[in-house]
Amino acid sequence: MNEIIPIPFPGMCGNCYLLKNGDNYVLVDTALRTKRNMLEEKLDELGCTPEKLKLIVLTHGDFDHSGNALYLGKKYDSPVAMHREDAPITENGRMFINKKKKRTLIDWLSRKFLQIDTFTPDIYMEDGMDLNNYGVKAKILHLPGHSAGSIGVLTAENDLLCGDLLENRKRPRLYYVDDAGAVQKSIEKLKQYEIRVVYPGHGSAFRFTDFSG
């Protein structure tokens, strides 16, 4: 039985989640570099030790989700996993390198102020990949649209960690769309599953049925 423990961050920073099954933990997303101390304290509080943390999954490459992946991967001796299509973001420290819409001001600001670590992920995640080997009952869904390499984590209980496909700061809705066609396909794909609760990258959890598209 999985438990999903939100580690929320307000504002522009992405939420993190600990997916827990008994003594096995998988960390989903790692927040901004500037939130490092806060995140480390929270992980300590939650009893997340190097022995228990089996994997770090990034829902996509953006820096508000990948900012502490390299650091935490080393600290906890845990592999960092993401989709191959977003690897150019973390390898080059360029958030818009693989996006259709190039937001040059945000690109420039992020590189100037965010102290970005560049890294290559240890593992590439693909659609349908099972996380059982890492001690949790869940699988990966490729959900492109916010970025080409965006993924979600669907638990055996049909709860979804959706990254930045959907958000719920004021109400459940699409987050920033880079590729509208891909987003629509990703939403259609989700409708094939009887998803219960969605845990978004920004905002609080909501029932999937409360998302009206």
Binding site for Zn ion (CB under 5 A): 14, 64, 164, 201
Q: Which residue number places its CB atom closest to Zn ion?
A: 14
- For residue 96, the minimal CB distance to Zn ion (Å) is 13
State the minimum distance, in angstroms, from the CB of residue 150 to Zn ion.
10
Give CA angle at 60 (179, 120), nearest 5°: 125
Q: Whole-number minimum distance, CB 24 to Zn ion, in Å?
A: 26
* 209: three-class secondary structure by DSSP: helix
- The phi-psi region of residue 118 (left if phi > 0; otherwise alpha if psi is between -120 and 50; otherwise beta) is beta
In the complex with Zn ion, the residue whose CB is nearer, 159 or 167, is 167
Q: Which is nearer to Zn ion, 14 or 61 (CB)?
A: 14
User: What is the rounded distance in angstroms from the CA atom of residue 10 to the CA atom of residue 202?
Assistant: 8
Residues 6+ apart with CB under 8 A from 108: none
Q: Which is nearer to Zn ion, 24 or 66 (CB)?
A: 66
**Short-list 109, 94, 18, 104, CA closest to 55:** 18
Q: Closer CB to Zn ion, residue 14 or residue 73?
A: 14
Least CB distance from residue 167 to Zn ion, whole Å?
A: 8
